[in-house]
Amino acid sequence: MKSIERRFNKIMKSNPPWSSWTCFVVSIKGQKFNKKIINRWFNQLVDKDDYDESEKKELVQYLYKVSDSSNTSEECQIQG
């Protein structure tokens, strides 16, 4: 599914100071991507320097919630 990658690249280009983590969160927010797709693209797009490996499982769980939420949900605000 290339739509995450396209959205991610567009957001990165528009917001150069943002980390890859922040751009990824914005890319998937409210898009209802499944867990397999989120995990795959997280591994490919998010720079390993932008997160601690020991927190990866928690971060990916957070991403599932962000993707499944509406864009106005206060529960899933960007943690970047």
Count of C-beta atoms within a 10 Å radius of residue 7: 18
Q: What is the pLDDT of residues 60-74, one digit of tens each?
A: 999 999 999 865 444
Q: Is the pLDDT of residue 1 over 90?
A: no
Q: Of 60, 78, 63, give the one whose Cα is nearest residue 22.
A: 78
pLDDT at 49: 95
* Prediction pTM value: 0.83
Q: What is the pLDDT of residues 6-56, one digit of tens each?
A: 999 999 999 999 999 999 999 999 999 999 999 999 999 999 999 999 999
Give 4 or 72, the one with higher predicted confidence: 4
